Structure 1
Amino acid sequence: MLIEDQWFTVELIDDQTYAISEYGHWEKVHSFLLLGKEKAVLIDTGLGIDHIKRITDQLTSLPIMVVTTHVHWDHIGSHEQFSDFYVHELEEDWIVHGIKGLAMEQIRKDIARDITLPVPESFDARIYQPFQGQPAGLLKDGDTINLGERELKILHTPGHSPGHICLYDTSCGYLFSGDLLYEGTIYAFYPTTDPQQLVQSLVRIAELPVRKIFGSHHRLGLEPEIFIEVKKAAKFLQDHKLIKHGTGLHTFTCFSIQF
């Protein structure tokens, strides 16, 4: 084990890339720390049950830029610990004024349920508040982030949320897919989701030449062969006119989509 910790699990993807996971919560959330020669990028900051900066401080002394895949509570939990954080331009309002379409009562219920590891004394789900704050900057499709001999490309992949992004590590061939693709149920049934955009985004990433896909939940790391199933799923859903709210849960070999 890289770091002994009660809440976070740190796993080495390669010598410049770490997964920081919260396996004690039912969502099994992953954040990712990517190191370059000049700076580091932290992709999302997790649930906020415990402070992720305590972990990143042990992993690097490089300045850290936080890049947000999307502004949902389980991805921005420790944003308050970092001043240099970025979101897609379509979700600036969400990070500043609050997440749209999610009731506080439901958020607090979701963060408190099915916890299997001890949580810090500072955590109290009854008063949990998703982070709000002013980002250091905004992102758009096609932007690049240079870490020093390592470059990330921003892909706007809406559907799960309006400003959802994936990050394509062109140096390593890694795709950090956020909540667009992971092994489990992909959610597109909220009023703020868009089923058509979600499927279009899945088709877009399925054309990328990747070595590994890292989603933000559940199993850590997927092989690029999953893109074959993604393309089949998209065609099936399109052919059967299922890409709309209310058609329910659609299960495929490696994942499900709920509209």
Structure 2
Amino acid sequence: MSSTVPGEAFDWFSRETLGQGITRLWEPHVHPYFRSNIFHVRGRDVDLVIDAGMGLVPLRPVLGLQHGKPVVAVATHIHVDHVGALREFETRAGHRAEAAFFEDMADEHTLAHLFRAQPEAVGRAPNEAWSPQRFRISPAPLARILDDGDLIETGDRSFRVIHLPGHSPGSIGLFDERNGDFLAGDAIYRGRLVDDLPGSDMRLYRKTMERLLQIDFNQAYCGHGETIDLSELRSIARAYLDKPSAS
């Protein structure tokens, strides 16, 4: 792909350098409910792009990728706000429970229809021709199907796949056990945890919270909002577990 960055992409994304080769990007003009995080992890031999935003403008050109260096794009789950630009990357990975859904990116799995129905889907159109009614996610079949416990290697870092269902069937996190970086996807973040979407399962979400309480990490990079530390993650998980269970 050309290194030229399309004009509309220059100010579409905001970014924050988090250290240890990790950059967080997000789309400030997207409705807050759909405004997710994209993480670029620069590895020695392989770069990781974890989640891919809405795909309203090209993502790959703004990442500053090194020409010829392999890139693996990992989807933490199938929802619209995390897979929009996944098609821009040749090597794509996601969990087995949702693997078939990437073949066609149907609304029933991505929930893209919820974005199209949002009255204020974007605060500013990404380009003059854009309209929510025409918004679709391009199919992006997976090159690698992930299971709990699998490792994703960058040459100098090793991320273990942790299956964290509840928000969606195939939700995952990536954990670098050596240095304590935990990329949590939508399993946990500040604010109300969304457990009432089609495909959500509150019983499984409670099991995920119990599992998260057993993980020792330094920083959790969440699918939405700011980075949280171990203490805050455990507080959020315990608060979820303290809620009355659905009958």
Q: Which of residues 218, 224, 229 is equivalent to 2:230? A: 224
Where 2:108 maps in the other structure, the secondary structure is: coil
Q: What is the CA–CA distance in structure 2 between the aligned matches of 1:41 and 1:105, rounded to whole Å?
A: 28
- What SS class does the counterpart of residue 119 from structure 1 fall into? coil
- The match for 2:173 is 166
State the Cα distance separating 1:59 from its structure 2 match: 4.5
**Equivalent residues, number:** 236
1:115 pairs, out of 122, 130, 149, with: 122
- Confirm or deny: 8 A CA contact 1:101 1:190 kept in the other structure: no
Q: Deviations over 1:64-112 (max 9, x none)?
A: 10011001111110011111101111101211132535665433123x6
When the two structures are superposed, what TM-score results if normalisation uses the length of structure 2? 0.87
Tell me the residue number matched to 2:190: 183
Distance in 1 between the 2:136 and 2:158 partners? 33
Give the aligned residue type for 1:19.
Answer: R
Query: Per the alignment, do residues 53 and 7 of structure 1 end up closer, same or farther by CA in structure 2, a change over 3 Å counting?
Result: same
How well do the aligned residues superpose, as a CA RMSD in angstroms?
2.2
**Contact 2:101 2:109 survives alignment (8 Å):** no
Q: Shift of residue 191 of structure 1? A: 3.3
* CA gap 1:105/1:38 in 2 versus in 1, 3 angstroms: closer
1:18 counterpart residue number? 23
Q: 3-state DSSP class of the match of 1:186?
A: coil
| TM-superposition CA deviations, 1:35-74 (whole Å, max 9, x none) | 1110111001101111111112x25443210011001111
State how far apart, in whole Å, the 2-side matches of 1:227 and 1:35 are. Answer: 25
Distance 2:84 2:140 in 1: 12
For residues 190-241 of structure 1, the C-alpha deviation after alignment (integer angstroms, 9 at most, x for no partner) is 23110011111122122211111111112x211211133134324422xx3x
- Assess if the C-alpha contact under 8 Å between 1:90 and 1:162 holds in 2: yes
Indicate the residue corresponding to 2:46 in structure 1. Answer: 39
Give secondary structure in 2 for the equivalent of 1:159. Answer: coil
Q: Is the 8 A contact 1:76 1:131 kept in 2?
A: no
Q: Quick check: 1:133 aligned with 2:129?
A: no
Whether 2:99 is the aligned partner of 1:92: answer yes
Q: Specify the alignment match of 1:74 in structure 2.
A: 81
What is the CA–CA distance in structure 2 between the aligned matches of 1:55 and 1:119, rounded to whole Å? Answer: 15
1:234-245 equivalences in 2 (<5 Å): 234-237=240-243, 240=244, 242-243=245-246
Q: Which residue of 1 aligns with 2:214?
A: 207
Amino acid corresponding to residue 17 of structure 1 in structure 2? I
Does the CA contact (< 8 Å) of 1:7 and 1:118 recur in 2?
Answer: no
Match of 2:10 in 1: 5
Q: Provide the secondary structure at the position in 1 that maps to 2:17.
A: strand
In structure 1, give the amino acid aligned to 2:14: T
Unaligned runs of 5+ in 2: none
8 Å CA contact 1:23–1:29 kept in 2: the answer is: no
Which residue of the partner structure matches residue 106 of structure 1? Answer: 114
1:176 is paired with a residue whose SS is strand
CA distance in 1, matches of 2:171, 2:191: 18
Partner SS, residue 197 of structure 1: helix
Q: 1:16 to 1:199 in 2, by over 3 A?
A: same
